[in-house]
Chain A
Amino acid sequence: MNLFSDRKYVISAIFISLILIYLIRLFYIQVIDKKFKLAANDNALRHKIEYPERGIIYDRQGKIMVYNEPAYDLMVIPKRVKTIDTSDFCQMLEITKEEFIEKITKLKKQKFSSFKPEIFINDISLETSLPLQEKLIKFPGFFLQARTLRKYPLKIASHALGYVGEVDDKIIAQNPYYRSGDNMGLSGIEKSYEESLRGQRGVKIVMVDVYNRERGSFDGGKYDTASVLGKSLYSSIDAGLQEYGEKLMQNKVGAIVAIEPASGEVLCMVSSPTYDPNLLVGRAKSKQYRRMLLDTLKPLFNRATMAKYPPGSTFKLVNALIGQHEGVINENTLFSCSRGFHFGGLTVGCHPHASPVNLRYSITTSCNSYYCNTFRNTLLKYKKTSEGFTVWRNHVLSFGLGKKIPIDLPQESSGNVPTVKYYDRYHGAGRWNAISIISLAIGQGEMGVTPLQMANFCTIIANRGWYYPPHLIKRIDGGHLDTTYLKRRFTTVDRKYFEVVVESMRNVVTNGTGRIAQLDSLSICAKTGTAENPHGKDHSIFIAFAPMNNPKIAIAVYVENAGFGATWAAPIASLMIEKYLRKEVKRPEMEKRILDANLLPKKSDWVTKK
């Protein structure tokens, strides 16, 4: 009825085709192309990592050695930062204005994430955070995020406990568990028990709005994983003994290691000089770390497990045991000693004492000549020196010397017991014999032993021939100890040869070189040592265990550059035994003499910060 009525089809066709184009487009972006779904998740979902609290470490008596203290990270949302009173702000945070400007401009340059919270300053202690929290409202864009810091209430055992720090790129590359910004144990128990202590990180998926504000959990938390708390550790360390040992060792360089012979549990591990473990926590960490790294006395160095000292006369006990086992000496074997061991032009001097000497007396009086003879005869028993030496060396190794024992710490030196190869290279193959290496007889020469190995060796004698590898952790809450520390190990020397050595060590204290260590009726057994040191004064060494039967403690004490073993190491060991077995030290003069002694090398800049 209308001239242009057919045009309704054209118009309808235009309408329909455009709607069809739109539907095709919608089908493409909604059903086919997946990139918008990913972008939507990227927009709206944040994976929030929930760090569980790190495990607590208790001492032998259940005293807390390490716990977690609340701390804060100061976070910033760069886009929200407005002009603020920087002087007030910087003063509270103890940073300079330049540092502030540098940090904020760097963060503001990250264009696409400037709504994302970034760490501005991490590890702010609770004390620093309190005034900050009050004033934070004046600083838009900044907020505090809770985290935890390690706290060491007793301020002891820094070397054994170790410290925690941020993972570096190398660790992240090696271990997929860690992400940038994570913390992990970097030394000591914190490192070796990292997996127990850290727990399991949780992930919470939260929705955020366009301003990055959190808007609750995604899909009712269906995809969240809960974090698992770190496991608590029960250390074998006796905090009281550890603290006392550190006190005795103040102003001295050296180490004390004490072990419970029946279990291999380490009762104390002192490395001196030490430091307050709280120094390596939080913001001051890197500064303190650098300072200690430069300290000539190397306070960060764990001498107890890492320092190699010559064992000195204490090593005579090893040779006495090997000699007996190899049949070159027995309880009644006599050697003469006229102020030393003489062979050709070589003399190993000795202090004046009665001669000839039997085995017991050789230990009590620490006769050099006796052991030179014993050692020489041990090696001469075999056709070739190298053969005899290998037999001897294998015996030595079975005492936990010259190899990692092991202990449950990440850093442990294996010490040094030279090999046939070494002497072949040094003297030429077949061109050396017992005499050329005679200093091994008395624990000098190329021998290197750590204080831990010495204490373990003392444990072996106390146990008459066996030991559990020493360990600092006796129980993991909800976990199991590594079986390494639960299996007895035996030496290659027969058990029957130990008793005479033990009895002789008892005599060392009753009427030998270690009389100073005597403690009323307690049957302390001991051996003194004085290690010659090419760099300075001799090291003072003392190993002891008590009581003689059913021993409760075996101890090794090293005091660097202090002189005779009996002078410094022996009283320290004796006081430690008294502290551990009697709980109370009743020899104030001896204690005072040790505490007042300053045996540090002169010109040291070390100041104990406690």
Chain B
Amino acid sequence: MANRNSEAVFQNIDWFMVVIYLLLVTMGWLNIYAAVYNDDHTSIFDTSQSYGMQLVWILSSFFLAFVILVIDGEFFPTFAYILYGIFVLLLIVVLFAGVDVRGSKSWIEVGTFRIQPAELAKFATNLALAKYLSNVNIKIEKTGTKLIAASIFMIPAAIIIMQSETGAALVYAGFILVLYREGLSGIFLILGAAGVVLFITTLLVDKAILSIILGAIAVFAFLFIRIRIRNILAVAGILLLSLVAVNGVDYAFNNVLESHQRKRINVLIGKEIDPKGAGYNVNQSMIAIGSGGLAGKGYLNGTQTKNNFVPEQSTDFIFCTVGEEWGFIGSTVVLGLFLLLILRIIFMAERQRSAFSRIYGYGLASILFVHLAINVGMTIGLAPVVGIPLPFFSYGGSSLWSFTILTFIFIRLDAYRFQILR
């Protein structure tokens, strides 16, 4: 039975996904080589350098992928909550016993290796959310359901924030898209987007002026809505909420956020210009990417890359290497591959018979998308600088393992789809 099962798995694997995965991982490895390239260590297999280590991570990821593919498909929904529980516990343990790395307490040291449970917790959270939402009796319209679903991903996010890894926590916001797909009202997406717009305008525009503008919008709204008590109350309520938010944001911005976060946001919205301080990374990153031109400077020929002008270039700012050495064409190819991967995941999710697999697929697509959007966005000055890796590209074992596990669980679930009855 087990034998037949694994044969069936390898027959039913979505090889298209696997090929994109292999392409991205290989391109990532070559770009890490370019980012840390120096004349003293030229062998790409040199494990004293991060590109050599990345190869170790890649090979171990292949092993992980293989293990996941041979595990029984029923394992994941069955053990979803248990895995989730283990990782939430691990996150709490890290909070107390973790190693301090550049101000964030999110690492566990195992021998000479360091792993970041915050990265690995993503797949467990995704599994748990899928498990919960795939429950036959679930009604997303119910407030209780919403709250439980939200807390499944808010709990790990909250612990990660306590580890001072705001960026990694931000990724969990992507699960909203999963809820939306499963029936959450679109209002929440619009409110979310409106909230972001309001947040930024609050920081840019004076509070008093903004209150007047909001009032004016409300008056306009009265002119266009049908005069009914419900509508009037809704508009008035939104206005009141907005006014509270405006003052709240200001308060939160000045009192809750830490000064380096405040600075990054200010630089991003153009309120502060600081080319040598908080803006330095973005500035140098844009210089590196912008100097790439249409076709790039050629592999290993990036002057900015080679001479370390961009900090963290092998990890968070790996996209600079692509931009500088491969130019606009190379950047388009990489972004195109990612888009292809995400759209393929959505396509595959929609063909699942099991709600669990579909929800898991959307979770995977959302996580990849948030990582891509924030990581690339910050390198081209469109998103704040929060340290999150570019999937498959950035140097680092935890993140590569995490994305490999996330992806291959989905490939395994997809290969298993014919054995599932609704």
Contact = CB atoms under 8 A, between A and B. Distances in A.
Interface of A: 2-5, 7-8, 10-12, 14-16, 18-19, 21-23, 25-27, 29-31, 33, 35-37, 39-41, 43-45, 111-112, 207-211, 215-216, 218
B326 to A, nearest CB: 10
Which are the 5 A-B pairs with shortest beta-carbon distances? A36-B290, A40-B291, A209-B307, A44-B303, A29-B290
Given A15-B365, A23-B332, A40-B291, 20 more contacts: A4-B181, A4-B182, A8-B346, A8-B349, A10-B186, A11-B181, A15-B343, A19-B336, A19-B338, A19-B339, A22-B377, A26-B289, A29-B289, A30-B289, A30-B292, A30-B293, A36-B287, A39-B290, A210-B307, A215-B306
Contacts of B291: 36-37, 39-41
Interface in B272-295: 276, 284, 286-294
B327 interface: yes
Nearest to A5: B350
B309 A43 contact: yes
Interface of B: 39, 177, 180-183, 186, 276, 284, 286-294, 303-304, 306-309, 323-324, 327-328, 331-332, 335-336, 338-339, 342-343, 346, 349-350, 358, 362, 365, 369, 373, 376-377, 380-382
A31 B323 contact: no
A14 B182 CA distance: 16
A30 B327 contact: yes
A41 B297 CA distance: 12
A209 B308 contact: yes
A3 B183 contact: yes
Nearest to B294: A31
A211 B306 CA distance: 12
A299 B147 CA distance: 97
Contacts of B186: 10
Contact of B183 (A4, A15, A16, A218): A4
Given A31-B294, A37-B293, A43-B287, A26 B309 contact: no
B309 A22 contact: no
B290 A7 contact: no
Contacts of A35: 290
A41 B293 CA distance: 13
Contact of A12 (B183, B290, B323, B343): B343
Most chain A CB inside 10 Å of its own CB: which residue of B287, B288, B343, B349: B287
Contacts of A15: 339, 342-343, 346, 365, 369
Contacts of A216: 39
Contacts of A22: 335, 373, 376-377, 380, 382
24 contacts: A8-B181, A10-B180, A11-B180, A11-B346, A19-B335, A22-B373, A22-B376, A22-B377, A22-B380, A23-B332, A25-B381, A26-B289, A39-B291, A40-B287, A40-B290, A40-B303, A40-B304, A40-B324, A43-B303, A112-B276, A209-B308, A211-B308, A215-B307, A218-B303
Nearest to A212: B307
Contact of A31 (B180, B328, B350): B328
Contact of B308 (A33, A36, A45, A210): A210
A11 B362 contact: yes
A483 to B, nearest CB: 50
Given A8-B350, A44-B309, A112-B276, A30 B303 contact: no
